[in-house]
Structure 1
């Protein structure tokens, strides 16, 4: 089964509406390892049209949720087990398995809002309280490519609220309510 997914990844175009949608059930740590090995960008699923419309996509019925190697590497470098940030803060480390579940995490968030990243790109920020802290998932809104793309995720200790999330990722002070 995994071989078939790998073959689909290798044959899929890297951009555009012709990208092969792998399905969330096929996005796992092994798939992401292959993505890193082959330096391939993948489309995992389509965004629900009603959410795509709320986010302002021109073609809401065909918005891909994508992930690419450089964003996976950034997350593991900054928030993975060997990162200085995780060692100093004792926050839970992000693994490939956690990254593979980013869509589920984002879709089940307690707090969700729009903001801009440091480069001025529009992002969707999702956060949820857990028993021992909270998680934050950041997805970039790429209207030109008709994509909602994984950007970053991390775990944090403490209680989540809009002001904490905003301060941690340098968002505008007020997040709109969950979409």
Structure 2
């Protein structure tokens, strides 16, 4: 029920013009920035032209999709994916976690982001920005609690709740028949996530899915 993905590295989120609470939230995530610099990454750090080239040349599905790398999924990359109607594999996911999600080839499963999810998040959740979306994988793996449930199409969904001082952020990802864990949506709200309606509804669905 509450299995979580392995610990990540992270990108920072927007810190300009933030309230003290939001500043504290950003600082918590920013602390992980040093991990990104010190941990060896299978994918090298790219400049923006290289990022655009990788996104443009990537097949839309399949095992031949290149891995962008979490350190290369920045706000500019998210905006580029959205405005050019692209999709890209961010990283491979942990095989044991992929197996738990019943993905067909767990040793080669990918976390994928596409323009449709970005459009949805920016339209429906206007307190989230490109910077926040770029941070979605780190947020999902740093979550205080991760619930697994089924959507209306009976697909496994992972809902990750991350409490950051006076705010909480929710990341929802859905697995599909393409051996992918797709970003579905994100939420950000004030308060304790355990007191929120979204948590209570998600928990009930999670319990009913088991």
Report the TM range for the smaller structure's normalisation: 0.7 to 0.9
User: In structure 2, how many angstroms separate the alpha carbons of the residues matched to 1:174 and 1:117?
Assistant: 9
SS of match in other structure, 2:139? helix
Structure 2: segments with no counterpart, 5+ residues: 1-46
Quick one: which of 141, 166, 188 aligns to 1:155?
188
Q: Matched residues in 2 for 1:162 and 1:134: separation?
A: 11
Are the equivalent residues in 1 in contact too, given 2:122–2:128 (CA < 8 A)? yes
- CA contact 2:149–2:205 (8 Å) conserved in 1: no
Q: Distance in 2 between matches of 1:175 and 1:162?
A: 16
Q: CA deviation at 1:56?
A: 1.8
Secondary structure of the 2:82 match is: helix
- Per-residue CA deviations over 1:139-168 (Å, capped at 9, x if unaligned) read 0111x100001010011121122874444x
Query: Normalising to structure 1: TM-score of the pair?
Result: 0.83
Match of 1:102 among 118, 121, 136: 136
Deviating beyond 6 angstroms after TM superposition, the runs of 4 or more aligned structure 1 residues are none
Deviations 1:120-154 (A, max 9, x none): 43210000111112111000111x10000101001
Q: How many residues are paired up?
A: 161
Within the candidate set 105, 109, 113, 2:147 is matched to: 113
Partner of residue 67, structure 2: 21
Question: What is the TM-score of this pair, normalised by structure 2?
Answer: 0.71
- 2:89 corresponds in structure 1 to 43
Deviations 1:2-40 (A, max 9, x none): 101101111110111111111111001100111112111
Paired with 1:129 and 1:166, the residues of 2 have a C-alpha distance of: 12
- CA deviation profile, 1:90-116 (whole Å, cap 9, x unmatched): xxx111100011000000111111123
Output the CA distance in 1 between the equivalents of 2:178 and 2:191: 36
Contact 2:88 2:113 in 1 (8 A): yes
The answer for the alignment partner of 1:137 in structure 2 is 171
What is the CA RMSD across the aligned residues, in angstroms? Answer: 1.8
SS in 1 for 2:111: strand
Take 2:96 and 2:156, find their aligned partners in 1: how far apart are those partners?
18
Q: Does 1:126 align with 2:172?
A: no
SS at match of 1:137: strand
**Higher RCO, 1 or 2 (CA under 8 Å, sep at least 6)?**
2
